[in-house]
Structure 1
């Protein structure tokens, strides 16, 4: 009976090829003879990325019958054991006896729902097929856990909510036109993007009330499933408050100790060690991404406070209901997310803090390659001078001369203290093929 279900699910998915999906900027590799893993936050489009890959395979001439897709979130497969996973390969071979299994491209969605799934995937990779793609939406699909489970075999393609370029594509907005009306539309779209959610499902949902309902659902699932259930945290009310505190402190150095004192003052019980662990967990599930303070001394860097950037402005807005003065925070968060998308494995993003501050220090191996300030507007003279001073001080300390200020819509190039500073509108900066200049 189980094999009948598996065969039915494989056939249904094959019948849907090619999939009706909107292209993403990230492309998964084809024919790399590797286990391709797609980690990322819930609902960011990991399964869709695999469907796009299947479309590309078919365009390359791969027959649809050579595609084995199985989603393990079907309730009829939930009780499978790891030993019964062999039925997947047997079922496919019975369906297509003339197709060598080595020529098949295998896509497993939500396979983490089956206990000890990783041993099955390794066995299939070693014995049957070298083209395997896997993704899932809970904390057992973390980068560190995947690498450990699959013993170094996988190539990872971390996935995020939509970039601004992808957001425009989903909204049908032209990004490569120099016509004034198109540029005006781009600017308006950016202002919406700055406050909106970039989760694909939310972007394609027109009702504001439905968007909020979905975003609260995402947040609750991350709290209850990815954090509380996966890490066996019973104190969910304190966990929820802790996460909101991190969200509220977006773009600022965050003291876990200060949050601990605040929680303790309210008569709530939690240990400081637990909060430090929770800070790791919220980054592990991709709800936040953490950066450290720039310092030539690794010891001093590790002792300094970290900053936490949120995976999605829209989800943060739905949870906190922030005020209109969050435009600057949202912009800095967007810039960081774009930098994180575009960085190479050897790159490192930190922030500078001395007498003045600089939002982002971009390092490639041992060299600082760019310094970036982010501000909503530089019209106010005191704001302008603060941003410039922060850049110049960071440039003096790091020796970097590639200085950029990203704003809502101002554009300029000027020299200060023999250093050229480029001011660029966020919408234009986000659409550059490479946000980091070399």
Structure 2
């Protein structure tokens, strides 16, 4: 029996916005757990005394709801079942499958007794007409695959967190992929391949009518293989030219945009710390799931461990949502991550697999910190077990950091 993981971070965000006059938009890559999250929140509502008659939930990937992909029929069905003089909680899951769904959202939003929740598997949900329609009227909650703290809960029989982290670092964090891998790795691998094919075929290729699928797949593999490395459409194009493959840099720029909007990858811009300006070239990209990367590249899970660790840290920073994430550039050095918080404060992070008994590696990782002339917190995250401090710079075990210990 699969363990039921309570995704408290996301439930807390939904609870805070409950009954507020904003539409709750839950986004995230396919199979990251958005539908399960809505189900958990509906259970919470029932525990609070909300009657089933006040909750309407529709998943538009289910066969029984195909007819309701017509927005007029959907609107009529919801209207018929609204309970007067009580708050009604409406959940529209994978709503991008409903043509002109923004008409339904607009109509329901203006009703004082409707609290509306919608989910979608790509950023197009918040682009175009809906973005204009919802300006100032929605909050976005972005769902990622399991964090390490959630991953640990799936294996209650394993008490060695370091051993679990090695597994987390080399496998998938998609909820169902983790459960399938417990049975057979081949099942999990097939599942991950299906996720990738669905995202590429349905969310990208069909929408943009991509004809050069071979070129597209080459670009995707290149990006997945280059996590944590500076990339631009032009330098990717130049790489392919060296191998006698001509892919126009404008086409590559579009491909990068499609990958970002489908939540397969996340770009991180570079920020000039000394010059206090955003740099517009050579973003770094991180993948939504390392298991997905294994499948696409056919790579050995234990390889490229430094960039894998960096990818895990980036996704955790994204989950914590403490501020905007940048790559910090300072003169000829770079800090792996700089989190710029709303109040103007910052936190800096360097990520290195190990530095103990490696004085050259330690010096290299600390060097960017010493060039930063401010007193904001600075962390060096490593797999080393013993915490240390170097002139106020804290070296912290990354497993402890991920578990908030």
TM-score (norm: length of structure 1): 0.83
Question: Equivalents in 2 of 1:251, 1:353: separation in Å?
Answer: 17
Question: Equivalents in 2 of 1:54, 1:298: separation in Å?
Answer: 48
1:334 to 312, 322, 334: 312
Q: What per-residue deviation string (whole Å, max 9, x for no partner) do you get for residues 294-326 of structure 1?
A: 215889633331110111111112211334332
Unaligned runs of 5+ in 1: 1-19, 94-98, 175-181, 434-438
Indicate the residue corresponding to 2:362 in structure 1: 384
1:430 to 379, 402, 405: 402
Question: Equivalents in 1 of 2:329, 2:293: separation in Å?
Answer: 25
Partner-residue secondary structure (3-state), 2:105: helix
Question: Equivalents in 2 of 1:357, 1:298: separation in Å?
Answer: 14
Change (3 A) 1:430 1:145: farther
Partner-residue secondary structure (3-state), 1:162: coil
Change (3 A) 1:306 1:140: closer
1:270 to 247, 268, 271: 247
Asked if the contact 2:270–2:280 (Cα under 8 Å) also holds between the matched residues in 1, the reply is: no
Question: Equivalents in 2 of 1:52, 1:77: separation in Å?
Answer: 21
261-270 or 404-413, larger mean C-alpha shift: 261-270
Indicate the residue corresponding to 1:235 in structure 2: 212
Question: Equivalents in 1 of 2:57, 2:235: separation in Å?
Answer: 48
Partner-residue secondary structure (3-state), 1:131: strand
1:291 to 268, 271, 281: 268
Asked if the contact 1:34–1:130 (Cα under 8 Å) also holds between the matched residues in 2, the reply is: no
Change (3 A) 1:199 1:404: same
Let me know the Cα RMSD of the aligned residues. Answer: 2.5
Change (3 A) 1:421 1:315: same
Question: Equivalents in 2 of 1:100, 1:366: separation in Å?
Answer: 43
Q: What is the total number of aligned residue pairs between the two structures?
A: 393
2:114 to 114, 119, 130: 130
Unaligned runs of 5+ in 2: none
Indicate the residue corresponding to 2:140 in structure 1: 156
Partner-residue secondary structure (3-state), 1:325: coil
Compare the two structures and name the one with the higher strand fraction: 2
Indicate the residue corresponding to 1:63 in structure 2: 51
Question: Equivalents in 1 of 2:299, 2:335: separation in Å?
Answer: 24
Question: Equivalents in 2 of 1:101, 1:220: separation in Å?
Answer: 46
Q: Are 1:362 and 2:329 an aligned pair? A: no
Q: What per-residue deviation string (whole Å, max 9, x for no partner) do you get for residues 50-73 of structure 1?
A: 111111111111112221111222
Asked if the contact 2:21–2:137 (Cα under 8 Å) also holds between the matched residues in 1, the reply is: no
Question: Equivalents in 2 of 1:401, 1:122: separation in Å?
Answer: 44
Question: Equivalents in 1 of 2:147, 2:129: separation in Å?
Answer: 26
Q: What per-residue deviation string (whole Å, max 9, x for no partner) do you get for residues 156-205 of structure 1?
A: 1111111111111222268xxxxxxx4xx111111111112111111121
2:171 to 189, 196, 201: 196
Question: Equivalents in 2 of 1:302, 1:124: separation in Å?
Answer: 42
Change (3 A) 1:145 1:336: farther
102-111 or 52-61, larger mean C-alpha shift: 102-111
TM-score (norm: length of structure 2): 0.89
Asked if the contact 1:101–1:128 (Cα under 8 Å) also holds between the matched residues in 2, the reply is: no
Indicate the residue corresponding to 2:74 in structure 1: 85
Q: Are 1:49 and 2:22 an aligned pair? A: no
